[in-house]
Chains A and B, each alone.
Chain A
Amino acid sequence: MAIEIESVKKGGSGKENIALVFSILVLLASFGFYFYYSQVVLSQKKVEVSNLNSELANLGQEDIASKEAELALAGKEINDFKVLFQNNPKASAFFVVFQEWVHPKVSYSGFNFDIALRKISMSGTTSGFQNVMQQIAILDQEDTIDGYQISNVALSESGAVTFDLDLIINQAVLE
């Protein structure tokens, strides 16, 4: 009988001890987990962050600012030159087409050319009305002329016909 009673007591005490040991292990594991993360992992991460921050701060400090400035200036100058060059009207082109449609028996003087408006004003002199009509016919056929106006047509005593001619030339002529 005594043996039976003793065995029951031993079994009960052992379970409590296991529970105690287990709880101590859990506590140790909790502290271990905390210390590992707070002291080992976190400090490593902080060092890494610090290194990355310093790497970021030192990145390209040497001459990147001058290169950026050089590129920005080049970009502006290239763009501005391109804009000015492409939009610069070529006034000389008018004189090439002018020679093509001017009537050989009509002489022009008092020439004014407003390039922004593409408007040319001049005075013509010729020997008869027929030449004026022929000049009008030529102007009618000319693709490089958007519009024209002939005014102040007058016949002098010497038989010369004078007139004023205003032209609007096509934009394409100046490009």
Chain B
Amino acid sequence: MDKKISTILIISGLILLLSLGVIYFLAIPAYKEVGAQDIQIQQLKDKIDDRNNYYTTVESQVLALEAAGWSSKKERIEINFISSPFFTVKLNEFFKTLVTGSGMTLSKITSSPAISVKTSSQTTSTSSEVQISKDTSDAQQETTTTSYFSQIQGPVKKVSCNLSVIGTYNSFKKLLADMESQTRIITVNSISVTPAGQETGKNASNLSNFSLAVDVYSY
């Protein structure tokens, strides 16, 4: 009988050992794998939430743009951000219309090829010797223009144009005001004024020649 008891106890012990083996080698890894899956599920849920939030933000921004009337405003300012093979031709026509509308005559227009604004010169300096000045500290003046072109995000290019127009001083002031009120941005770089009679040899009364160097922009 003792032998039978011992056999039962040994079998029980072996079964318990087998149970520990099942727990250690099968059940615990399965439990850990479930835990890993839980972490993956949580990460996926977080990712979905993040993406949903992002899409919601995109949607709300698109709606905000639409509510702000972006489509109509875009049409107005887009003239600064378009480019076409006929850009120069259209530009010449634009300036002709503008000059004529100001009561002046466009005698000549030249334009340079479009170049990226980011590659254009950014620093200018000058020194002026002031003989009579209200502030002697201004005698040596260095103007460093921190270029705002570095803030440009898009592929903005500029076309430099030289306009020669003939008209009166008041017409020219109107032309400048008209240029500044356009949705097409026109940057006037320099202005030169000479009496109209100087070049034509005629006595041209109050007419003057105005030379303007301007920049206009495109993408």
Listed in ascending order, the chain A residues whose CB lies under 8 Å from chain B are: 9, 12-13, 16-17, 19-20, 22-24, 26-27, 29-31, 33-34, 37-38, 41-42, 45-46, 48-49, 52-53, 55-56, 59-60, 64, 67-68, 70-71, 74-77, 79-81, 83-92, 95, 109-119, 136, 139-140, 145-151, 166, 168
Residue pairs across A and B with Cβ atoms less than 8 A apart, 15 shown, are A27-B22, A29-B19, A34-B22, A42-B30, A56-B51, A71-B62, A77-B74, A80-B152, A81-B185, A87-B148, A91-B180, A116-B189, A149-B128, A149-B132, A150-B132
Q: In the complex the two chains form, is B185's CB within 8 Å of A147's CB?
A: no
The residue of chain A having its C-beta at the shortest distance from the C-beta of B37 within the complex is A45
How far, in whole Å, are A27 and B26 apart by their CA atoms in the complex?
A: 12
Main secondary structure of the interface of A (DSSP, over half): helix
Q: In the complex the two chains form, is B44's CB within 8 Å of A46's CB?
A: no
Q: In the complex the two chains form, is B80's CB within 8 Å of A84's CB?
A: yes
How far, in whole Å, are A81 and B173 apart by their CA atoms in the complex?
A: 24
Specify which of B12, B193, B217 is in contact with A22 (CB 8 Å cutoff): B12
CB proximity of B121 to chain A, nearest CB, Å: 10
Can you name 5 extra interface pairs (CB under 8 A) apart from A42-B34, A81-B80, A117-B126? A20-B15, A34-B23, A49-B40, A56-B51, A77-B81
CB proximity of A120 to chain B, nearest CB, Å: 9
A residues less than 8 Å from B40 (CB atoms)? 49
Q: In the complex the two chains form, is A80's CB within 8 Å of B15's CB?
A: no
Q: In the complex the two chains form, is B133's CB within 8 Å of A91's CB?
A: no
Main secondary structure of the interface of B (DSSP, over half): helix
Q: How many Cβ-Cβ contacts under 8 Å join chain A to chain B? A: 220
Q: In the complex the two chains form, is B48's CB within 8 Å of A20's CB?
A: no
How far, in whole Å, are A17 and B23 apart by their CA atoms in the complex?
A: 23
**How would residues 99 to 126 of chain B score, 1 for a CB under 8 Å from any chain A CB and 0 otherwise?**
0000000000000000000000000101
How far, in whole Å, are A34 and B15 apart by their CA atoms in the complex?
A: 16
Q: In the complex the two chains form, is B12's CB within 8 Å of A23's CB?
A: yes
**How would residues 126 to 162 of chain B score, 1 for a CB under 8 Å from any chain A CB and 0 otherwise?**
1011111111001101010100110111101000000
Q: In the complex the two chains form, is A33's CB within 8 Å of B180's CB?
A: no
Q: In the complex the two chains form, is A147's CB within 8 Å of B22's CB?
A: no
Q: How many residues of B contact A (CB 8 A)?
A: 81
CB proximity of B5 to chain A, nearest CB, Å: 5
**How would residues 6 to 36 of chain B score, 1 for a CB under 8 Å from any chain A CB and 0 otherwise?**
0011011101101110110011001101100
Q: Is B91 an interface residue (CB 8 A)?
A: no
The residue of chain B having its C-beta at the shortest distance from the C-beta of A52 within the complex is B44
Q: Which of chain B's residues 31-71 have a Cβ closer than 8 Å to chain A? A: 31, 33-34, 37-38, 40-41, 44-45, 47-48, 51-52, 55, 58-59, 61-62, 65, 70
How far, in whole Å, are A50 and B34 apart by their CA atoms in the complex?
A: 14
B residues less than 8 Å from A23 (CB atoms)? 11-13, 15-16, 19
User: Given A34-B30, A79-B153, A147-B128, does the pair A20, B37 have CB atoms closer than 8 Å?
Assistant: no
CB proximity of A72 to chain B, nearest CB, Å: 9
